[in-house]
């Protein structure tokens, strides 16, 4: 069974309903356990993903994908451990982001969240991921990548810098627009691919102000921005943390997540929603 997203499916159940080999009898200390070390160049904080019977360089492989906080993505043969390809996500003159003096993701920050794979997209299939970096002028970047799963090459004009504004007068707002500042955020929550859109969720570095909560979606085929929701547009904080778990969804295309530690309006409007649009502690 392919593992293309955090915890196997968009409901994040962790179930593998196609399992036929593992049983309570053979999952034991003698027959089950670690089979290999696969060398990478930094911490791997996102869940590795897996594809079976993928043709790479004219051979069929079972492939495990891992992305590091050093701005690298690796594809390994899951059976032999052979490195099939490796790519750096850094632009010219860039380095991974520093840790902002925050101990949550250290000593460097790049790919923190679990990517997502669409095996049917493009000529060979695509893996989507978000990477953070810092350029030679001290500017920070958050970029969405779409890599060919057989070569690691960027597709669809990728990468694209993640930028957003939203109506409001909350933290880091100017003239009635809240502005997404890439240096203030980490993409920690696992990516969600739903109805042809890649959804990203954003948190802060150790609650370092100013920041608000963001959910931003991109078209999987063109990487154009499809939607932006700010969760505390007239307040502050309200990150999507979720301990790195993935944004969840159901068959009706509803998205589920937790929004934490921020401004929450105790007064509701006629439709039952926070009167100022602030969901700083909500499900």
Q: From CA 281, how far away is CA 236, in angstroms rounded?
A: 11
pLDDT by residue for the chain (283 residues), tens only, comes to 899 999 999 999 999 988 888 888 999 988 888 889 999 999 999 999 999 999 999 999 999 999 999 999 999 999 999 999 999 999 999 999 999 999 999 999 999 999 999 999 999 999 999 999 999 999 999 999 999 999 999 999 999 999 999 999 999 999 999 999 999 999 999 999 999 999 999 999 999 999 999 999 999 999 999 999 999 999 999 999 999 999 999 999 999 999 998 999 999 999 999 999 999 989 9
Q: From CA 51, how far away is CA 75, in angstroms rounded?
A: 10
Q: State how far the alpha carbon of 257 is from the alpha carbons of 39, 87, 192, 194, 214, in Å.
A: 33, 31, 11, 14, 12
Q: From CA 255, how far away is CA 238, in angstroms rounded?
A: 17
Domain range summary for the chain, segments of one domain joined by +: 6-19+41-262
Q: State how far the alpha carbon of 96 is from the alpha carbons of 124, 130, 151, 185, 214, in Å.
A: 28, 12, 22, 14, 22
By the 8 A CB rule, do 69 and 111 touch?
A: yes
Three-point CA angle 181, 149, 223, nearest 5° = 35
Q: From CA 231, how far away is CA 220, in angstroms rounded?
A: 23
Q: From CA 35, how far away is CA 41, in angstroms rounded?
A: 20
Main-chain phi, psi angles of 243, to 5 degrees = 55, 25
Cβ count near 131 (within 10 Å): 30
Architecture of the domain spanning 6-19+41-262 = Beta Barrel (2.40)
């Amino acid at each position: 069974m392919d593992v293309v997203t955090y915890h196997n499916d968009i409901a994040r159940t962790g179930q593998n309903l196609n399992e036929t080999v593992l049983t309570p009898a053979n999952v034991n200390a003698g027959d089950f356990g670690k089979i290999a070390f696969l060398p990478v160049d930094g911490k791997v904080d996102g869940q590795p993903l897996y594809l079976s019977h993928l043709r790479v360089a004219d051979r069929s492989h079972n492939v495990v994908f891992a992305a590091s906080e050093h701005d690298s993505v690796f594809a390994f043969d899951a059976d032999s451990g052979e490195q099939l390809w490796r790519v750096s996500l850094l632009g010219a003159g860039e380095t991974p982001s520093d840790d902002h003096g925050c101990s949550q993701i250290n000593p460097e920050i790049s790919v923190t969240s679990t990517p997502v794979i669409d095996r049917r997209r493009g000529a060979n299939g695509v893996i989507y991921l978000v990477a953070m970096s810092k350029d030679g002028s001290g500017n920070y970047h958050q970029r969405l990548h779409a890599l060919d799963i057989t070569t690691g090459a960027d597709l669809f004009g990728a990468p694209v810098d993640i930028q957003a504004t939203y109506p409001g007068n909350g933290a880091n707002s100017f003239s009635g627009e809240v502005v997404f500042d890439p240096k203030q955020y980490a993409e920690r929550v696992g990516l969600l691919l739903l109805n042809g859109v890649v959804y990203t969720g954003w948190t802060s570095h150790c609650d370092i102000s100013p920041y608000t909560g963001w959910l931003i979606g991109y078209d999987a085929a063109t990487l154009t921005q499809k939607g932006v929701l700010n969760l505390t547009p007239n307040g502050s904080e309200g990150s999507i943390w979720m301990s790195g778990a993935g944004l969840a969804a159901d068959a009706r295309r509803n998205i589920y997540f937790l929004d934490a530690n921020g401004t929450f309006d105790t007064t509701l409007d006629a439709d039952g929603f926070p009167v100022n649009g602030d969901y700083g502690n909500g499900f």
